[in-house]
Structure 1
Amino acid sequence: MEGDDSDQKLAATLQAITAEFRRIEEDCIHSGKAHFNAAARWNRYNYLLGLPSVVLSAAAGAAFFKDYPIAAGAMATTVSVLTGLMTFLKPSKIAGAHKNSGDQYLSLRNDARVFREIQLPQATTAQAATEAISSFTSRRNELNQASLQFSRRDFEKARKGISQGEATHAVDHGVL
């Protein structure tokens, strides 16, 4: 009789832990995809500021040598503004940080899914299962604290993409 009670407690604990793993996976899918969207946006900013800066810099030099001082001055001023914006905003650095966060969230999601699907069913004690979920929860909390904040627009774009199946595997739909 006592064995049945401990089996029921273990089953209930595993069910609760499985639900929490699914929450972690869902959080990671949304956060990871939103960070990738933010990285793509900041990469666009990098090109939108950097490419005109390079082109105008070359054109200003040519205008200067062709004796068009007003055009050269206007282009040089524009280059200064664009370069200043790139220095201040650091779009390349921010894009890299968002991509790194996205990669870490996807890594956590993958690790959580593998643990939930393969290792958790093998758990023989509630304590072992509880320690495992605690480790994953800590990892998610650390990522949340260390990551840059993404915009609401990045998140909404992520949610839309996820609802359209961008974050699922064919095997999850019984295709493979």
Structure 2
Amino acid sequence: MNEDTRSSIDAELRRVEEDCKYTGKAHFNATERLTWQHRILGSCAVISSAAAGTAIFADYHVVAGVLSLAATILTALLTFLKPAEQAAEHKGAGDQYLALKGDVRRFRTIRLPTADDVSLTSDLLDVLVSRQKDLNRAAPTFLNSDFQKARKGIEEGEALHEVDDGVTK
């Protein structure tokens, strides 16, 4: 394989790897955000429900009614929004992007430098790119704020391994 071809394949692999790094991190940020939403809505629903029960026994019927209504609304929001299910979907997508990123990195750094067969190398690149496209189609949509937080975290070094930074223990 000539160096121009190897360089072109390397560049495309780096693009896939970078996309996976940012997209995967954005999905993990969405997981964190949705988990917190679930905890907050669920905790408020439980507290409102418990307080409504207590208010009934203390003959505070109006307060009990308001708290009961709040608990009902919060529970309905949990059922409608399904933040726990959404968090699990984003976690799964983030895990898949992380796995693809690792596969791409290993191919780029271990197999590509010694590859001789252009056809086989191109076929492997096509398989990796196809996996990325499938993930992009199937993954849930995250918020722009999840992506911006991912970008900031990556720029601050959150996605680096010690070996990437030249640090050894």
Q: TM-score range by the shorter chain?
A: over 0.9
Q: Deviations over 1:91-146 (max 9, x none)?
A: 10011111111111001001110111111223221001100000000000000000
Matched, 1:20 2:8: no
Matched, 1:108 2:100: yes
Hey, what does 1:87 align to over in structure 2? 79
In the alignment, residue 108 of structure 1 is paired with which amino acid?
Answer: L
| Structure 1 residues without counterparts, runs of 5 or longer | 1-6
1:14/1:129 contact within 8 Å kept:
no
Hey, what does 2:142 align to over in structure 1? 150
Question: C-alpha distance in 2, partners of 1:65/1:131?
Answer: 71
Sequence identity, in percent?
47
Which has the larger Rg?
Answer: 1
Matched, 1:160 2:152: yes
1:34/1:150 contact within 8 Å kept:
yes
| Structure 2 residues without counterparts, runs of 5 or longer | none
Question: C-alpha distance in 1, partners of 2:167/2:87?
Answer: 34
Cα distance, 1:161 vs. partner? 0.6
Question: C-alpha distance in 2, partners of 1:121/1:85?
Answer: 53
Equivalenced residues, count: 168
* SS of corresponding position for 1:148: coil
In the alignment, residue 155 of structure 1 is paired with which amino acid?
Answer: F
Hey, what does 1:56 align to over in structure 2? 48
